[in-house]
Structure 1
Amino acid sequence: MKILLIGAAGKLGTAVNAALTARGHEVLAAGRSSGDLRYDIADPAQTSALYDRVGPVDAVASAAGDVPYKPVVDMAPENYEAAFRGKVLSQIELVRQGVSRIAERGSFTLITGVLCRDPIPTSSAAAMANGAVEAFVRAAAIEIAPQRINAISPTVFTESLAKYGDFFPGVPPVDLAQVAQAYVRSIEGAHTGRIYELS
């Protein structure tokens, strides 16, 4: 398959890229500041330009999304707006604009995360964004068939425990390789409207 991967140079994107490439897929690596294709998907116009550049693809996978972390009392409206643009609207636009640009039975795989079901202090924006993406996936799945859409919702990565482990006390981590296999399952499988929870 020809797969457009957003956030391909990040920690998760690198693992997903390796897993897909190992299975013989052609991966088009895109990112805001790295990768073969430099586009900021938080800007709908750049999403459109990215699709114009790559042409038809079989699948689109996202491993990127920016959200701020602050206590609720320190959050400003623009912080929540940034979370919406950075993780929700950016991925919605990948789907909205991509429906006419991927294969008839192609797929979208988006990224959410554990914080919408098991939040930590300072994570209200991330929880909001993840929950919104998951709700969108369930709704979009009933409209875009036979194209498919799923989301990957991992907990903290084992490889990131040194940096983030203190924020997730007692929470079992998940290996990046396992998360990458969930992307493979979403892209190569038959499910739609699924949230693959990994913990």
Structure 2
Amino acid sequence: MKILIIGGNGTIGKTIVRHFKENNEILIAGRSNGDVLVDIADSSSIKSMFEKIGNVDAIICIAGEAKWADFNELTEDDYYLGLKSKLMGQVNLVRIGHNYLNPNGSITLSTGILADDPVVKTTSASMVNGAVHSFVQAVALEIENGIRVNAVSSGMVEDAFEKYKDYFPGHNPIPMNKVINGYVRSVNGKGNGEIIRIYN
């Protein structure tokens, strides 16, 4: 398969790329480096990316940002950061990207445990993750050409444990092989409209 991985140079992205490149042609997209550049917060950038690379068999997005801060400190613009990047960025990848998918292709979005189990300072991030879940379940009812749309929602991954452990007291770090399997299930399985939760 020809697989586009947006965010393929990140903490999780590098591991996902390493796995899928064993048997597939991989294109990495990133904001500052990769085979092709894209800013998912800008729909014209998404469109330009697809015009450059042409059709693919699968799209994986492991990108998108949201502001982490105390609720009383979050401004309206802080919320819009997550809405424009992690939410609408991924929505637009589906909205535009499905036109560049071969029949029976798949799109895999990424969220996280905050949608179901928020911690402090994540009012904005949790809201965005939950919205992506609802979008995935709804768009799966209407998307055509046998295309499937799923989301992988992971807990705090092992590779990021030291950086984020203070935010997640008592949470078990998720082994990277379990995270990989979530993306494999989405890309190689037959599920559609699924939220693939990897929390334990």
**TM-score bucket of the superposed structures, by smaller chain:** over 0.9
Q: Quick one: distance in 2 between partners of 1:181 and 1:62?
A: 15
1:48 aligned partner: 47
41-50 or 177-186, which moves further after superposition? 177-186
* Aligned equivalents of 2:149, 2:193: Cα separation in 1: 6
* Matches of 1:181 and 1:117, distance apart in 2: 20
Distance 1:88 1:95 in 2: 11
TM-score scaled by length of structure 2: 0.97
1:168 and 2:168 equivalent? yes
2:99 — aligned with what? 100
Tell me the residue number matched to 2:154. Answer: 154
Instruction: Describe the superposition over 1:57-94 as per-residue Cα deviations: whole angstroms up to 9, x where unpaired.
Output: 00100011111101111011111111111100000001
Match of 2:74 in 1: 75
How big is the shift at 1:103? Answer: 1.1
Tell me the residue number matched to 2:12.
Answer: 12
Structure 1 runs of 4+ aligned residues shifted over 2 Å read none
- Conserved 8 A contact 2:62-2:109: yes
In the TM superposition, what is the alpha-carbon distance from 1:38 to its structure 2 partner?
1.4
Equivalent residue of 1:191, what SS? coil
Partner of 2:41, secondary structure, is coil
Shift of 1:177: 2.4
1:20-65 superposed Cα distances (whole Å, 9 cap, x missing partner)? 112x111100000121211111100000000001101001000111
Structure 2 SS opposite 1:4: strand
Q: Distance in 2 between matches of 1:88 and 1:176?
A: 24
Deviating more after overlay: 189-198 vs 158-167:
158-167
Question: Is this contact kept in 1: 2:68–2:125, CA < 8 A?
Answer: yes
* 8 Å CA contact 1:19, 1:184 repeated in 2: no
Q: Distance in 2 between matches of 1:140 and 1:11?
A: 28
Per-residue deviation at 1:166?
1.5
Please report how far the alpha carbon of residue 181 of structure 1 lies from its aligned counterpart in structure 2 after TM superposition: 1.8
Contact 1:111 1:152 in 2 (8 A): yes
Equivalent residue number for residue 194 of structure 2: 194
Aligned to 1:82, the other structure's residue is in SS state helix
Conservation of the 8 A alpha-carbon contact between 1:150 and 1:193: yes
Q: SS at the partner of 1:18?
A: helix
| Contact 2:11–2:160 (Cα < 8 Å) also in 1 | no
Q: For this pair of structures, how many residues does the alignment match?
A: 198
RMSD: 0.8
- Structure 1 stretches lacking a partner, 5+ long: none
CA distance in structure 2 between the partners assigned to 1:159 and 1:50 by the alignment: 29
Deviation of the 1:180 alpha carbon: 1.6
Asked if 1 retains the 8 angstrom alpha-carbon contact of 2:40 and 2:64, the reply is: no
Residue 179 of structure 1 pairs with residue 179 of structure 2: yes
User: Secondary structure of the equivalent of 2:152?
Assistant: strand
TM-score of the aligned structures, taking structure 1 as reference length: 0.97
* Residue matched to 2:133: 134
Question: Could you tell me the percent identity over the aligned residues?
Answer: 37
